[in-house]
Amino acid sequence: MSPISIFVTSVLAQNIILTKFLGICPFIGASNKEKNAFHMGLSVMLVITLSSIITYVIYHFVLVPTNTTYLRTTMFVLVIASMVQLMELFLKKYLPGIHKTMGLYLPLIATNCAVLGVTLLNINNDFNFLQMLAFSVGSSLGYLLIIYIFATIRERLETSDISKSFDGIPIALLTAAIMSLVFVRYL
Amino acid sequence: MIGIFILTALAFVLSFVLVVVDARLNKVDGRLREIESLLPGYNCGSCGFSWCRAMSEEILKNKDIYIKCRPLRGKAKKEMEDYLGIEEVK
Ligand code: SF4
């Protein structure tokens, strides 16, 4: 597959949230405001892209030559956690406002399964470097896109008249379900 | 066996990067430490701030506020005044 087609499929048809169900927790938790969702999506994008590159290099130049590929999950988790920590340090210093509004969800990116998922899929699919880059940027862009759309829908829902038993999270989950149906082309 | 080395090496490299970046980014103002060491260190809160470090941050912004620390008396108070006075000349 060419990198371009990988990119397009990973953004839309194979969207990481709506078709692979990875990274759902911040998808629901950090999408109550349009701005929060955008920051969350951007941070996830940064972490996914950086850790994909680093884990790819580590896997192919350290683990494969030394026959220690069984270590990959541990290694990748370590790299991802450090990337998140690094980003937190930078945000705290240069963008303290964003650091504050994101709160707990920022360190929680370390356990966002979308990140580990993309890094492991890169390896399982036997991508070369360009394909890997296309896949990680594409998936994370898909993440940003979906969480942003979802947040705008949720903001709109806040001003509408919803029956009490559906207000808040239930209607958000239903929205996510319908979006997911759209993306797997049942609608 | 080699797995142990690789994992340790990676952990070492990553923690090294984190420590260096943290030290670079979060440089604490040296005067903050000095002011804090001149305060009594009771963390009693009678100055109106939760603990002595919060108080020293306030002193850094506005040095006259040191008066509010009530346990600061006598020689210690004199030392603090000297310290802050020296700063004024600078
Ligand atoms: S009053 Fe003085 S000793 Fe008490 S917390 Fe404030 S600075 Fe510390």
List pLDDT tens digits, range A46-104.
Answer: 999 999 999 999 999 988 888 888 888 988 999 999 999 999 888 888 887 888 787 78
For domain B28-84, say whether CATH 1.10.15 is its number.
yes
Put simply, whether B11 touches A (Cβ < 8 Å) is yes
pLDDT band at A166 (very low <50, low <70, confident <90, very high): confident
> Whole-structure pTM over 0.80, yes or no?
no
B contacts of A85 (beta carbons < 8 Å): 18
Higher pLDDT residue, A32 or A126?
Answer: A126
In a domain, A88, yes or no: yes
Average pLDDT in the B24-43 region? 80
Interatomic CA distance for residues A139 and A127, integer angstroms: 14
In a domain, A124, yes or no: yes
Domain total in chain A: 1
Q: Could you state, in order of their start, the residue ranges of all structural domains in chain B?
A: 28-84
In a domain, A41, yes or no: yes
CB A93 within 8 A of CB A27: no
**The predicted structure's pLDDT at residue A187:** 57
Percent pLDDT > 70 in chain B is 91
Tell me the helix, strand and coil percentages in chain A, rounded to 5. Answer: 80, 0, 20
The C-alpha of A69 sits at a distance from chain B's nearest C-alpha, in angstroms, of 9
**The predicted structure's pLDDT at residue A186:** 66
In this structure, the residue with its CA closest to atom 7 of ligand 1 is B52
In a domain, A186, yes or no: no
Average pLDDT in the B62-77 region? 84
Model ipTM over 0.90: no
**The predicted structure's pLDDT at residue B89:** 44
CB–CB contact B25 A68 (8 Å): no
In a domain, A92, yes or no: yes
Closest CA to A89 of B13, B32, B18, B27: B18
Put simply, whether B20 touches A (Cβ < 8 Å) is no
CB–CB contact A78 B26 (8 Å): no
Residues of the domain holding A161? 3-179
In a domain, A187, yes or no: no
Residue ranges of B 21-60 with Cβ closer than 8 A to chain A: 21-22, 25-26
Interatomic CA distance for residues B54 and B47, integer angstroms: 10
Within a 10 A sphere around the Cβ of B63, how many other Cβ atoms? Answer: 17
In a domain, A184, yes or no: no
Who contacts A153 (Cβ-Cβ below 8 Å, separation ≥6)?
A: A175
Q: Which atom of ligand 1 is nearest to the CA of B40?
A: 3
